[in-house]
Amino acid sequence: MNNIEMKYNFNLEYFEKSADYVKSKIDFKPQTALILGSALGSLASDIKNPVEIPYEDIPDFLVSTVKSHAGKLILGELYGRKVVCMSGRFHDYEGYDYEQLVAPVRLFKLLGVENMILTNAAGGINTGYKPGDLMIIRDHINLAGASPLRGPNDDRIGPRFFDVCNAYDEGLRTLAKSLAKECSLRIQEGVYAYQTGPHFETPAEIRFLRMAGADAAGMSTVTEALTAAHCGLKTLAISLISNMAAGVNNNRVDGEEVDYVAAQSAKEFKKYLSSILAHMESQEDE
Ligand code: HPA
């Protein structure tokens, strides 16, 4: 074993240990995985017949450090679909190594899920956006310059080099857009700029990002979407625009405002996600 393999030996068997434990607690196969961002965790309380598994009970899994993120896996039925839901996600700014951030999506893949929905709160860069809008992520700009797929590659999980043109699955985006009129929130589609945080961006960074074609900025989602693209899991990602990003208006960016706007929009966002989940099922039934 070389030095890098000694640090993280993230081969298929490593993740199978987590997956086997979760499988031993359930008697169904989840179809869709959900990772819910800031203040949208309340969706998890709608899950029927929930089986809750604290992250710390799952062998070789990570433990969440953010107060507002609960830190458990919830499995059950949500709007007619069998789901595995992460209540609380892992961010680079908590101090994990990039390589560790693959754990949740690898677990989902081994549980046999067909697709994944990611949500987050993000700052609006596009001046046509307003707090309270939703943005279906079409593509991203990864300012971290690092990938969770760095390090030794296990070809049984995915190829060393892989395409990410469809990291945000076109079919799922089309489905989400077709349901937009049922939602009272404005639905945008745009490019998500990822930087690691925990600081918000500077006004100069936001001007730079707007020129580069970004529509919203945030601190999550991209590591998960890249991990999913690597192992061939379809992803739909939706940002709630919780504030305008730094320098877009005269307001300072404020973490409490982010949580407040997210909470205000949670009910409508939930409704929208429920119709997406319901229609995913009917697509497969056809
Ligand atoms: N920037 C980065 N992440 C965020 C923001 C923001 O303005 N708002 C919510 N998450």
**3-state secondary structure string across 217-250:** EECCCHHHHHHHHHHCCEEEEEEEEEEECCCCCC
Percent of the chain with pLDDT over 70: 92
Q: Which of 118, 127, 200, 201 to mutate to test the pocket of ligand 1 (most atoms within 8 A of CB)?
A: 200
Determine if ligand 1 sits within 6 Å of the CB of residue 245: yes
pLDDT at position 221 over 50: yes
CATH number at residue 146: 3.40.50.1580
Look up residue 209 and give its two tokens: 């990002």
Determine if ligand 1 sits within 6 Å of the CB of residue 217: yes
Determine if ligand 1 sits within 6 Å of the CB of residue 205: no
Q: Are 70 and 41 in contact (CB under 8 A)?
A: yes
> Confidence class of residue 266 from pLDDT cuts 50, 70 and 90?
confident
The reported pLDDT for the residue numbered 5 is 55
Give the torsion through C-alpha atoms of 223, 265, 257, 97, to 10 deg: -10
Distance CA 21, CA 25 (A): 7
Q: Which atom of ligand 1 is nearest to the CA of 218?
A: 3
**CA-based torsion, 100, 56, 168, 285: positive or negative:** positive
Determine if ligand 1 sits within 6 Å of the CB of residue 222: no
Look up residue 201 and give its two tokens: 């961006």
Of residues 6 and 209, the one with the higher pLDDT is 209
Distance CA 233, CA 108 (A): 9
pLDDT at position 146 over 70: yes
> Confidence class of residue 3 from pLDDT cuts 50, 70 and 90?
low
The reported pLDDT for the residue numbered 187 is 96
Ligand 1 centroid to Cα of residue 52, in Å, is 29
pLDDT at position 286 over 50: no
Determine if ligand 1 sits within 6 Å of the CB of residue 243: yes
DSSP H/E element including 119: strand 115-124
What pLDDT digit, counting tens, does each position of 30-67 carry?
Answer: 999 999 887 576 788 889 999 999 998 999 888 766 65
Q: Which domain holds residue 159?
A: 3-285
> Confidence class of residue 118 from pLDDT cuts 50, 70 and 90?
very high
pTM attached to this predicted model: 0.93
Q: Ligand 1, atom 7: nearest CA belongs to which residue?
A: 123
Distance CA 236, CA 275 (A): 14
Average pLDDT over residues 203-225: 97
Beta bridge partners of 82: 77
Ligand 1 centroid to Cα of residue 27, in Å, is 38
Estimate to the nearest angstrom the gap between the alpha carbon of 251 and the chain centroid. 27
Mutual orientation of helices 255-285 and 170-178 as an angle, nearest 10°? Answer: 100
Domain count, the chain: 1
Mutual orientation of helices 103-111 and 12-23 as an angle, nearest 10°? Answer: 60
Q: Are 276 and 187 in contact (CB under 8 A)?
A: no
The reported pLDDT for the residue numbered 68 is 52
